[in-house]
Structure 1
Amino acid sequence: MRVNVKDFAPSWFASVMGTGALALVSKAYSSKLTWLGTLSKGLIYLNATIFFLLLIPWLLRWIRYPAEAKKDLYHPVTSHFYGTMPIAMTIVAMNLAMVGYKGMALPLWILGSLLVIFFALLIPYLFFIGEGVDVKTVTPAWFIPPVGLMVIPLTALPFVPSSETWKGIFIALNYFGFGAGFFIYLALFAIVMRRFITHELLPPLMAPSVWINLGPLGAGAVALLNLTKMLPVAAEAFKAFAFILWGFGLWWLLMAIAITLHYIRNLHLPYSLAWWAFIFPLGAYVSATHNVGTAFGIGAIDSLGFALYWLLFALWLLTGLKTVKHMILD
């Protein structure tokens, strides 16, 4: 196995996002099965290792092959995957804080959050000043930068500062993350829906990206619930809105399953790195299902989340094994 730095895909960090989400919900559901707590800890150490290993070719590509790295920033699909690296960084930071490494995690979370904001500004800016793109090139991968902004409050709770001055800045950052991320997602959602309705299905290699829409819905619901814990203003309204996002997420989950089955039965679903699009979005939605069920005391919703957890675990295992297999063969 040899890593090709020149052609290293930014989307590799989606594997870190997905594994980190699985670690988070494994910890959440350890209240039902205690061994899931041990699994969560193992996943956290594995995920941190994967993140730092992937960071090496990511950085080397910018140093040794800046023209190729910059070219991807102007690509209508690949550019959005640059957001996965800083999102992965914030998730790894939260994961490390979960197992007691807050001193190491806090700088990672701050840097990751700043880079999330940077790419969430840079990528749309490049499209705004560009010559425009064909709507056929639009995919749900366009949701990744706004998802990153909403992941800031999703991962923030372990890092709430004790100083009142810093706490105010911290809360403002998290409200900015949700506000900017949600409304960018809302605008892009209309464009993506138009593409789905007025054009043919996505190519089979991109089929898993249909699941990405669960990312902003799941992350947004958890982020809202976290914001009420940081600053309990309009808490009931925020909780209700989180419930609404969860409801739409359930509709999209059923739609994503139906479309995926259509590919399997009528077209083709070949393995690619895009398979990691199954994992983080579903993980975010499982987390939202657990948090909404707990916040409203509705056991049936939390039980649904636990059932979806096993779907998430199965997809993570399948995708991980296929990824390792292709790495060895390539």
Structure 2
Amino acid sequence: MDYIKNFAPSWFASIMGTGILAISCKLFSEYFSVLLPVSIFLFWFNLFIFFLFLVLWILRWLLFYEKAKDDLFHPIISSFYPTIAVAFLVIAGGYIIILHNTQLAEIFWFLGTLLMIAFAFLIPFIMFSHEKIEISHINPGWYIPPVGLIVIPIAGAFFEPLSTGVYKELITITNFLGYGAGFFLYIALLAIIVYRLILHSPLPGTIAPTLWINLGPIGAGNIALINIISKTSFISVKEPFYIFSLIFWGFGLWWLVMSIIMTIRYIKRAELNYTMSWWAFIFPLGAYTASTYLIGKILHLKIISILGFFIFWLLFFIWCITFFKTFTNIKKIFKG
């Protein structure tokens, strides 16, 4: 029963990370063909683990309601609850990019979107009405709800040209709602989190990997913007948006280098022992990797494409280490 009782909502971050790695493998298989079967294997493996986690997540609410509820109202843990919704959305993207199955993709996208919109209101409401939040609770994990909103149009944009009538309009509005709300919430939280990083003590080593989550809104934001602009029928002038994506990508490159520098600092101080927060390395870096591929492709910038390939291998390397550490520490993790 410990596996159910101690099943943290952050476990779905591993689904997000593995899912974006699978998609990145598919994208970069253009340059290295062996990555294509790897992407397919990772997708199906990830889908199996997703349903296993989904069962555990539901059982935890049924059998250990109070503990699940306490996590929902925790100023740090609560931000990880939307990872289940993002996992649905990432799998939808995998069905589109890897398997070219828009029917199943739409089901996962629809469920993920409903969950994400619900969490997008629930988590901020809990934060706004919470009476015991302190500056020490502020961390980049707070980006997860905005990231989830931004991820909605990544797959959602593909359904806009395939739809008609009111349903088409609903998809379009949902895509712009996700991007608009997520992007501006990210901007607001960016100021708060940078304030905390400058004026408060450094993040403890247990959540230090969340520094990489800064890449999530940037990487996912660029992919979402490019997909919306490319797929939305009434947008005819696209170039200015692509230029903005390049500017946004540049900000991400700064965050990537800064994240690496800060991570090295934690390693040198022996403060980076394994925890589940290591999965915070993966999805943000994967989203930035995929966005680098898309920007290099659309703007025909070979240097960015080459850089994206190197970032991809960094992503693959960190995923392998994190997966191995997670697998070898499963019993320890679930003992609580």
TM-score calculated relative to the size of structure 2:
0.95
Q: Secondary structure at the match of 2:329?
A: helix
Give the aligned partner of residue 143 of structure 2: 143
Q: Which residue of 2 aligns with 1:87?
A: 86
Summarize the alignment of residues 245-324 of structure 1 with structure 2, pairs less than 5 Å apart: 245-324=248-327
Residue 219 of structure 1, CA deviation:
0.5
- CA distance, structure 2, for counterparts of residue 24 and residue 159 of structure 1: 18
Alpha carbons 2:216, 2:285 under 8 Å: kept: yes
State the alpha-carbon separation in 1 of the partners of residues 206 and 241 from structure 2: 37
Residue of structure 2 equivalent to 1:215: 216
Shift of 1:233: 4.5
CA distance in structure 2 between the aligned counterparts of 1:226 and 1:103, rounded to whole angstroms: 18
Query: 1:86–1:115: 8 Å Cα contact kept in structure 2?
Result: yes
CA RMSD of aligned residues (A): 1.4
> Alpha carbons of 1:228 and 1:137: their partners in 2 closer, same or farther (altered >3 Å)?
same
CA spacing shift, 1:3–1:107, aligned 2, 3 Å:
farther
Count of residue pairs the alignment pairs up: 329
- What is the CA distance between 1:70 and its match in structure 2? 1.2
1: CA distance, partners of 2:236 / 2:119:
29
| 8 Å CA contact 1:171, 1:230 repeated in 2 | no
Is 2:95 aligned against 1:96? Answer: yes
- 1:119 is matched with 119
Q: 1:221 to 1:142 in 2, by over 3 A?
A: same
Query: Can you list the C-alpha shifts for 1:216-266, whole angstroms capped at 9, x where unaligned?
Result: 000001111011112225422221211111010000000000000000112
State the Cα deviation string for residues 59-112 of structure 1 (Å, max 9, x = none): 111111111111111111100000100000111122123314433332121010
- Name the structure 2 match of 1:68: 67
Matches of 1:311 and 1:287 in 2, distance apart? 13
Q: CA deviation at 1:207?
A: 0.8
CA distance in structure 1 between the aligned counterparts of 2:81 and 2:113, rounded to whole angstroms: 14
- Which sits farther off after the overlay, 40-49 or 159-168? 159-168
Name 2:51's counterpart in structure 1.
Answer: 52
Residue type at the aligned position of 2:300: G
Q: 2:158–2:227: 8 Å Cα contact kept in structure 1? A: no
1:274 counterpart letter in structure 2: S
Q: Distance in 2 between matches of 1:113 and 1:245?
A: 24
What's the counterpart of residue 188 of structure 2? Answer: 187
Which one-letter code corresponds to 1:163 in the other structure?
Answer: T
Q: Which residues of structure 2 form unaligned runs of 5+?
A: none
Q: Distance between the aligned counterparts of 1:171 and 1:101, measured in 2?
A: 20
Cα separation, 2, equivalents of 1:302 and 1:3: 45
- TM-score w.r.t. length of structure 1: 0.96
Which amino acid is 1:214 matched to?
L
Q: Specify every segment of 5 or more residues in structure 1 that has no aligned partner in the other structure, as ranges.
A: none
Q: Is the 8 A contact 1:94 1:158 kept in 2?
A: no
Q: CA deviation at 1:129?
A: 1.7
